[in-house]
Amino acid sequence: MRSVYLDHAASTPVHPEVAEEMMRVMTSQYGNASSVHAYGREAKRLVSGSRDKMATLLGCMPDELVFTAGGTESDNLAILGTMEAVGLQGKHVITSAIEHHAVLHTCEELEKRGCEVTFLPVDDEGRVSVEEIANAIKENTVLITIMFGNNEVGTVQDIRTIGELAHSKNIVFHTDAVQALGTEHIVCRDFPVDLWSFSAHKINGPQGIGALVVKRGHVLSPRLFGGLQEKKRRAGTENIAGIVGFAKALELAVQGLDHRRAHYMMLRESFIESLTHEIGDEAFVVNGHPEFYMPHIINISFPGVSTETMLMNLDMEGIAAASGSACTSGSLEISHVLQAMSLSEKLLRSAIRFSFGLGNTRQEMEYTARKIGTILNRLRK
């Protein structure tokens, strides 16, 4: 049976060139970057070289880059680190209802610790209104955290305008750009953003390594205590192979960005075209924003067929897709993102996220659309 992987927003395969560099490091380098001997110096050289390379590619200073264990840790460090540095009690944070759980649950934790948090709604295309953010700002607002691009529906926010608004009121602005890296043009210094979260495994890098870009001068309270690594912002021996792999993945992603975008646009368009041909355009609805979206994520509802049933049938055909929801005790939860977009029950309960990657082809899109046609016919019978 053919197998088609359309869940790259969950995780991507490691690029062979990334794996090759990591393998070289893992098999030849075992020093600790904090050691003073030659082995340690070699480890340190690898970390510094990767940091310099990534800083150039991201448009930030090397000392603005903090390596973490992934997007979740970057979000936690950005949010808790910022708020603990100013004292949590009586402070206010603004976020949106469609953030990744790494942000939402961290904000809920802030509430437990005495902060006030406003969770802003979004429109039915998944966009946060800048006006509503402006109206939510109070005297005690310290932080605004709004994601760059949504991991379930792909909608991109107006990060530049939100950042300008935040800075005009002296408010810190954090964006979770985990899904946007590799498909959106990101040059950190060109945006009014103080904190950026990134993760390597969404761009064909290894799992378990991420980064937080912290604008110079911004003070963070650390989440981990121990050694002096990452300028005391993140203690712990560096994940050298992961860091080298992340730097290589970023290099490939940034150099190939226009090609990637064009490839994903082609996949998206041919998928919609093939679906229209196979099942007719009345049998499916594309959720998300029609103009401001990341091309590698498309969320589609097939009214009348539950998300669970479609995912199971796709899996039986060798096609891996996703719902936006986490799987708990065997049943799928309704997506908080689609709920926040106030989609009708029939769209909400039949939504599937397809997310593309480098290896996907037009033929796979046609194949998947054909299989969806077969599944719908089978279920109708």
Ligand X SMILES: Cc1ncc(COP(=O)(O)O)c(C=O)c1O
Q: Which residues bind ligand X (CB under 6 A)?
A: 70-72, 75, 100, 102, 147, 151, 176, 178-179, 199, 201, 210
The alpha helices in the chain, defined as continuous H runs, are 16-28, 38-58, 71-86, 101-112, 130-136, 159-168, 240-255, 257-279, 307-316, 336-340, 345-348, 362-380
Q: How far is CA 333 from the centre of its chain?
A: 20
30-35 long-range contacts, Cβ below 8 Å, gap at least 24? 32/237, 33/229, 33/237, 33/238, 33/240, 34/227, 34/228, 34/229, 34/237
Gap between the Cα atoms of 354 and 314, Å rounded? 11
**Residue 71 or 242: which CB sits closer to ligand X?**
71
Close Cβ partners of 62 (under 8 Å, ≥ 6 residues apart): 48, 51, 52, 55
Gap between the Cα atoms of 366 and 272, Å rounded? 9
Beta carbon of residue 216, minimum distance to ligand X (angstroms, whole number): 24
**Residue 50 or 274: which CB sits closer to ligand X?**
50
Beta carbon of residue 102, minimum distance to ligand X (angstroms, whole number): 4
Catalytic pick among 60, 107, 115, 327: 327
Beta carbon of residue 150, minimum distance to ligand X (angstroms, whole number): 7
Beta carbon of residue 207, minimum distance to ligand X (angstroms, whole number): 7
**Residue 12 or 274: which CB sits closer to ligand X?**
12
Distances (CA, A) of 260 to 158, 206, 242, 267, 357: 22, 19, 23, 10, 8
Structure tokens at 134: 């402006």
Gap between the Cα atoms of 18 and 7, Å rounded? 20
User: Is residue 327 flagged as an active site residue?
Assistant: yes
Structure tokens at 305: 């067929």
Close Cβ partners of 33 (under 8 Å, ≥ 6 residues apart): 40, 43, 44, 46, 47, 229, 237, 238, 240
Gap between the Cα atoms of 351 and 152, Å rounded? 10
Beta carbon of residue 101, minimum distance to ligand X (angstroms, whole number): 8
DSSP state of 229: T
**Residue 91 or 296: which CB sits closer to ligand X?**
296
**Residue 162 or 178: which CB sits closer to ligand X?**
178
Beta carbon of residue 151, minimum distance to ligand X (angstroms, whole number): 3
**Residue 102 or 166: which CB sits closer to ligand X?**
102
Beta carbon of residue 75, minimum distance to ligand X (angstroms, whole number): 6
Spatial CA neighbour of 237 closest among 11, 65, 32, 24 = 32
**Residue 91 or 163: which CB sits closer to ligand X?**
163
Q: Please identify every residue annotated as catalytic.
A: 327
